[in-house]
Amino acid sequence: MSLSPADLAAARQSLAERDPALARAHAQTLPFEWRVRQAGFVGLFRMIVEQQVSVASAASVWARLNAGLGEITPQALLAHDLDSLRGMGLSRQKATYGQGMALVQVEGRIDLDHLSTLDDTAAIEALVSLKGVGLWTAEAYLLLCEGRTDVFPGGDVALQEAIKWADRAEVRPDTKQAYARAEVWRPYRGVACHLLWAWYTGVKKGEIVLDEAA
């Protein structure tokens, strides 16, 4: 789904009014669009390709895959052996994960193209059943590719750091604490996530200055 600018602004305002810590992030962060990446098999596979490599490296591998496969589909991925996929820039592990996901999709065990018909909990359970897809990847996929508004990847280190700043805490929360902290932001935990990410990025780029108490 996609939130309109008005709906996104209203959700941010609601979060800021409900939580003074988020109000700081909201006040320092410019409006941003609710952007949704491609979903389905291609969207999830691309997230696997992008893991643990730089943005530039991931873009290069994706371009090589597009050129080598003609079109990135489950069928195209299964038509090539692991060595061929490695020749297109994939690690053996990512090629194995990709083919496993492709086989599940082709056999109809999970329909990634219609995952949006499941609620958040069921969708996460389906995703983490795939080899190579952990909880963070599942939650990030639902948030970034399907645009779900109440998904919160609590294991994300950048989010944990931003929560630490927002709460003026001395120690960054762990995953369990981050999930607990986000409960107050329902039903807009996904919006809170995007806000904290934008705030974190602004601070890291030097565009936003935290006050001395943060």
Task: Give the model confidence (pLDDT) of 144-154 as tens digits.
Answer: 999 999 999 99
- Confidence (pLDDT) at 212: 57
Residue from 3, 8, 40 nearest 145 by CA = 40
Whole-number pLDDT of residue 2: 75
Q: How does DSSP classify residue 19?
A: -
CA 129 to chain CA centroid, nearest Å: 17
Question: In which region does residue 147 sit, left (phi positive, over 0), alpha (psi from -120 to 50) or beta (all else)?
Answer: left
The encoded tokens of residue 199 equal 């705030």
Cα separation, 129 vs 132, whole angstroms: 9
Q: What's the CA gap between 29 and 187, in Å, rounded?
A: 21
In the chain, DSSP finds a helix count (H) and a strand count (E) of 12, 0
CA-to-CA dists, residue 25 to 13, 59, 154, 169, angstroms = 11, 30, 18, 15
| Mean pLDDT, residues 118-127 taken together | 96
The model carries a pTM of 0.92
Q: For 111-121, what is the mean pLDDT?
A: 93
pLDDT (tens digit per residue) in 7-39: 999 999 999 999 999 999 999 999 999 989 999
- CA separation, residue 200 to residues 37, 46, 66, 67, 209 (Å): 21, 24, 32, 35, 10
pLDDT tens column, 51-99: 999 999 999 999 999 999 999 999 999 999 999 999 999 999 999 999 9
Question: What average pLDDT does this structure show over 129-135?
Answer: 96
Residue 114 predicted with pLDDT over 60: yes
* Alpha-carbon span 114 to 133, nearest angstrom: 17
Average confidence score pLDDT of the chain:
95
Does residue 214 register a pLDDT over 50?
A: no
> What is the average per-residue pLDDT within 202-211?
92
| pLDDT, position 213 | 52
Provide the pLDDT for residue 131: 95
Over range 150-160, report the average pLDDT.
Answer: 97
- Taking only the tens place, the pLDDT of each residue in 167-190 is 999 999 999 999 999 999 999 999
CA–CA gap between residue 113 and residue 140 (Å, rounded)? 16
